[in-house]
Amino acid sequence: MAEADATDFVAPPLPPLEGDAHPAIPVRTTGSLSRRMILIAAAWILLLLTGGGYALDRVLTDAITRNADAQLEDVLTALIVSGEIGPQGEVISSREPADQRFLEPNSGLYWQISAPGQDWLASRSLWDRRLAYGTKHNDLGVHSYDSNQFFDPKAENPERLRIVERDATLPGSKVRWRFQVAQTRDGLDAQIKVLRKTLVRSFALLGFGLIVMAALQTFYGLWPLRKVREEIARMRAGKARQIERPMPIEVAPMVEELNALIAHNERQAEEARRHAGNLAHALKTPLTVIMNAATAEAVDLGETVVREARTMRRQVDHHLARARAVGRRGSAHSRADVWPSLESVERAVGILYRHVRIDTDGPKDLQVHVERQDLDEMLGNLIENAAKYGGGSVFVTVSKHSGFVEFLIEDDGVGIPEEQRLRIFDRGVRLDSGKPGTGLGMAIVRDVAEIYEGTVSLEESEDLGGLLVRLRLPAAN
């Protein structure tokens, strides 16, 4: 039974680095997030205001037009009521509308009573003009429409008319007379123009105010991200180790993950510094022994060099295995299929120890949050030890319990006394010096398992009577 190496000196943790003198690495950007949010808000506001303004314009324009038509309808009703048939069958008006504009030529307000083949009757304001008599429709009810019949582009004030008309049969006549009242659209168009100008100004002011509000909301809402940047700059300058400033609820989860990532990187850096220090101290003693032997021109210099070189190689292999596991642990997506790794190790060990029978049992679809190379190394060490020190039978059972995949490696050897089971995990310790080995296999398994937040323990096998190794690793499915 070999004693533990005297070179297992653990270096004290190194102090953290202060600041970072290297300039920040430029990052590719996809444009301003603030600008993007403001543009989206502005486009949506303009779309809504345009649609709403158009709808409101139509509603108010129709209301103004209906109000103007209602006034013309009142005149039309009075005109129909005052209509009579004269002695010669002609139409006359017993009481003309009282509006003075009906008496002024080309005043913009007109009325007319007419029928096909009959003498017509019209207001003086029409003078020598006549309102058109359309035959494409029957005006049994009130009919309102716009007309350009008096429109002259060369005139100083070209007239566009709004006409309200209705057909009626007067008592004592079988002729259906058409009663028409027309008014120029100038006043109506002026009202609509004022309305639209008011709408445009109001909606423009409203849109500008909403866009300004969206901009202020964007800058204020994204302000915590600027605070996060300032905190990260403080950490790079060595003034803080993590973000401690209170953040809004929406940003807090990101800050927590960032703090966790920083803590994770600090642990990895600390582990790397500690491993480097441990390796340096572990190599220092063998190098000192070799130098002393070479200086003294010792007779057994060759044996000393070989012995100490073997010790240094053992330490280098151990620390390299730990360094690889620590580096690969940084990937949150690391996972490995259990069964392919187990079968691969079983084939390799079976070639080395052909007299050993290896049996396996368990689900075939389990996965662990471990890199495949590290899983192969842990299972390879454990199964090889069981084959090397057992009596010829090795049984491996895989199962899943409470978020962990559990490996039970049992052999039919002499086992390990309970008081020595913890000592076997020390680096360089070998309980059977008669068989080749470095004494680092179990130490590597323990260190790599702990890096992945797993455990390894030694027990006595109830079925085979030898050693039972219980390896637990985080499950990935």
Rounded Cα distance between 24 and 45, Å, is 39
Domain of 361, in residue numbers: 333-474
Mean pLDDT of all residues belonging to the chain: 82
Rounded Cα distance between 194 and 185, Å, is 14
Residue 167 lies in a domain: yes
CB neighbours (10 Å) of residue 83? 20
Whether 83 and 149 share a structural domain = yes
Residue 427 clears pLDDT 60, i.e. is over it: no
Residue 128 clears pLDDT 70, i.e. is over it: yes
Lowest mean pLDDT among 51-65, 270-284, 463-477: 270-284
Whether 224 and 276 share a structural domain = no
Q: Which of 370, 367, 368, 346 is nearest to 356 (CA)?
A: 346
Whether 173 and 50 share a structural domain = yes
Rounded Cα distance between 405 and 336, Å, is 12
What's the pLDDT score for residue 232?
A: 84
What's the pLDDT score for residue 408?
A: 95
What's the pLDDT score for residue 323?
A: 65
Rounded Cα distance between 387 and 116, Å, is 122
433 to 410, 419, 428, 438, 444: CA distances (angstroms):
21, 18, 11, 10, 18
Residue 26 lies in a domain: no
What's the pLDDT score for residue 389?
A: 86
Whether 364 and 435 share a structural domain = yes
Tens digit of pLDDT for each residue in 289-341?
788 878 887 777 888 888 778 777 766 766 666 666 565 554 455 789 999 99
Q: Which of 328, 399, 367, 336 is nearest to 476 (CA)?
A: 367
Residue 321 lies in a domain: yes
Q: Which of 11, 94, 34, 6 is nearest to 426 (CA)?
A: 6
Residue 158 clears pLDDT 60, i.e. is over it: yes
Residue 246 lies in a domain: yes
Q: Hunting for tokens 């032997």 — which residue is that?
A: 293
Chosen domain end from 223, 240, 257: 240
Lowest mean pLDDT among 119-128, 135-144, 180-189: 135-144
Chosen domain end from 273, 297, 326: 326
Rounded Cα distance between 139 and 166, Å, is 5
Whether 316 and 387 share a structural domain = no
CATH number of the domain within which 452 lies: 3.30.565.10
Could you tell me which residue, 108 or 301, shows the higher pLDDT?
108
What's the pLDDT score for residue 313?
A: 77
Residue 179 lies in a domain: yes
Report the phi/psi class of residue 82: left, alpha or beta, with left for phi > 0 and alpha for psi in -120 to 50: alpha
Chosen domain end from 326, 341, 362: 326
**182, 110 contact by CB (below 8 A):** yes
Rounded Cα distance between 374 and 453, Å, is 13
Q: What is the dihedral of CA 313, 315, 318, 322, to 10 degrees?
A: -120
Whether 316 and 232 share a structural domain = no
Highest mean pLDDT among 138-142, 244-248, 270-274, 424-428: 244-248
Tens digit of pLDDT for each residue in 176-216?
899 999 999 999 999 999 999 999 999 999 999 999 999 99
Total domain count for the chain? 3
Residue 120 lies in a domain: yes
Tens digit of pLDDT for each residue in 11-42?
344 444 444 445 556 667 777 888 888 999 99
Confidence band (pLDDT; 50, 70, 90) for 55? very high
DSSP string covering 123-142? -GGGTT-------SS--SS-
Q: Which of 57, 59, 67, 70 is nearest to 193 (CA)?
A: 57
Confidence band (pLDDT; 50, 70, 90) for 474? very high
What's the pLDDT score for residue 328?
A: 56
Whether 386 and 316 share a structural domain = no
- Dig out the tokens for 351 from the structure: 């070639």
Whether 261 and 359 share a structural domain = no
What's the pLDDT score for residue 414?
A: 85
End-to-end CA distance of the chain: 41
Confidence band (pLDDT; 50, 70, 90) for 442? confident
What's the pLDDT score for residue 224?
A: 85
Whether 255 and 340 share a structural domain = no
Helix, strand or coil for residue 292? Answer: helix
Rounded Cα distance between 386 and 396, Å, is 10
Q: In 311-338, which positions are buried (b, 16+ CB within 10 angstroms) versus exposed (e)?
A: bbebbeebbebbebbbebbeeeebbbbb
- Dig out the tokens for 269 from the structure: 């850096």
Could you tell me which residue, 305 or 365, shows the higher pLDDT?
365
- Dig out the tokens for 314 from the structure: 């053992």
Residue 25 lies in a domain: no
Whether 236 and 246 share a structural domain = no
Whether 194 and 292 share a structural domain = no
Residue 16 lies in a domain: no
Whether 228 and 169 share a structural domain = yes
What's the pLDDT score for residue 324?
A: 62
Under DSSP, the state recorded for 296 is T
Rounded Cα distance between 236 and 224, Å, is 18
* 246-262: average pLDDT: 85
